Amino acid sequence: MSGKHLGRVSQVHGLLRAAPRAPGLRCRQSPWLRHVSLLRLARHSVGRRSRRPRLERHALAAALAAAAIALSGLVSSGASTTAAYAAPVVATRAAPACTNALLTVTKGRLEGAAGSRFQTVRVTNSSAHACSTPGWTRYHFLNRTGLIGFRSARNPGFDPSKAPVVIRAGRTVRSVLSWVDPGPVPAGQCHARHATGFRVRLAGIPGFHRLPLDATVCTTKKFRPHGTRLSH
C-alpha cells in the first residue's frame, strides 16, 4: 500500500476513534474486524477520489475527440465549398495568325463631313477557320508613279500589348481611312496631288493590300492621312 493510502487509513482511523457512541450501547469489535472495516473505508474513500480524475480524463478525451470530428467536418466542408466556388480553368486555344492569303480587303462607303473624307475599308476572313491579327493599320496614298505624301500616323489608342483582333471564318472587320479635303487648306500647307489609290498594311502581316481611289489629297506631313484599328 502506498504512502497516500496509508495516510487515508490513518485519517479514517482517527475519525472512528473520535466518533461519539450512543449512551448505554457498548459494542465490542475484534481487532481483525476493525482492521477490515478500516481497509474497506480507506478503499472506498480512495476509490471515490481516484475515479474522479479518471472520469474527468475520459470526459476530456471524449470532448477533444468530438471537437476534432467537428473541426474535420468544417475543414472538409470549407474545402468542398472553396472547390465549388472556385473559377473553373478552361483551356483555350489561341486563333492562328492571319495571313494575306486568308484575308480579302475591299472598299466600303466613302463619306464626307466638315472638310474631311472617310473611306471604310473592309477586311474579310475568307478561310474556313478563325485567325487573329494585332489589328493596327497604316495607310499610304499612291498614284501611277508610286507613293505620294506621308503614310498615316499610328492609330488612336495604339498599344502593342492589347489583345489581338480575332476574325472568325467568313466574318468582316472594318477600319476607316480619313484625310482632309484640300479645298479649304492653304496651298503651301497642303501640296495637293491626285491619288489613284492607296495601300493598307495590317500589323503583324507581311506585305500590304492595294485599293483604287480617285481623290485629291494633301501630301504634307501636317495633313497626312489617318486610320483606325480594325474593329467588328
CA distance 231 to 100: 18
Predicted local distance difference test score (pLDDT) of residue 94: 78
Contact 100, 203 (CB under 8 A): no
The angle at the Cα of 226, spanning 222 to 228, to the nearest 5 degrees, equals 155
d(C-alpha 62, C-alpha 64), whole Å: 5
- Position 114 scores a pLDDT of 86
Range 30-62 burial, b when 16+ CB lie within 10 A, else e: eeeeeeeebeebbeeebeeeeeeeeeeeeeeee
Look at strands 172-180 and 103-113 and give their pairing. Answer: unpaired
Residue 184 confidence (pLDDT) = 92
Q: What is the pTM of this model?
A: 0.60
Residue 6: Cβ within 10 Å count: 11
CATH classification of 100-227 is 2.60.40, yes or no?
yes
pLDDT computed for residue 85 by the predictor: 39
Collect the ranges in the chain with pLDDT lower than 70: 1-93
